[in-house]
Amino acid sequence: MEKDFNRNTYVLQNDEHKGTVQITDDVVAVIAGLAATEVKGVAAMAGNITNEVMSKVGRKNLGKGVKVAINGKRVKVALAIMMEYGYNIPGTCSKVQDKVKSTIENMTGLTVTDVDIRIASVDMQKK
């Protein structure tokens, strides 16, 4: 268990009577990725080639396409997403930003200062 604490871990709560609650940036990235894909018009998160290959062999990285920088209690998020064809990009991205910000803040108590989005591709397949 001690090995896991070597990752980028941040203290959410420190209570001398109850103990410490910590979170890794990987967990925040997964929260952001899942929140983004809940928005209508987002087809999927876009990842790098390593993530794509690993998902094909059965290891899914739920934080793919997400970069998180945590400084104290402040979070900056960068997302790479695949949009569905036919959706308004600025409008959909605004909804993604709102959803990611509110979900991370509600689940972690951290403050999200930025949610930057890069449209990596457009899914042209009809659903």
> Is pLDDT above 50 for 14?
yes
> Is pLDDT above 60 for 97?
yes
Please report the pLDDT score of residue 3 as a whole number: 44
The pair of structure tokens assigned to 89 is 């990009």
In angstroms, rounded to a whole number, what is the distance separating the alpha carbons of residues 62 and 58?
Answer: 12
Please report the pLDDT score of residue 15 as a whole number: 82
More confident residue, 100 or 61: 100
In angstroms, rounded to a whole number, what is the distance separating the alpha carbons of residues 3 and 24?
Answer: 13
Stretch 36-63: mean pLDDT: 66
Least confident among 13-17, 20-24, 88-92, 105-109: 13-17
Stretch 32-53: mean pLDDT: 78
What pLDDT band is residue 58 in, cutting at 50, 70 and 90? Answer: very low
What pLDDT band is residue 122 in, cutting at 50, 70 and 90? Answer: very high
Which pTM value belongs to this model? 0.81
Q: In the chain, what are the domains?
A: 25-123 (3.30.70.1350)
Angle of CA points 102, 59, 84, to nearest 5°: 50
Q: Answer yes or no: are the C-beta atoms of 116 and 79 closer than 8 Å.
A: yes
Stretch 66-94: mean pLDDT: 94
Q: Cα-flanking dihedrals φ and ψ of residue 33, to 5°?
A: -65, -45
More confident residue, 2 or 16: 16
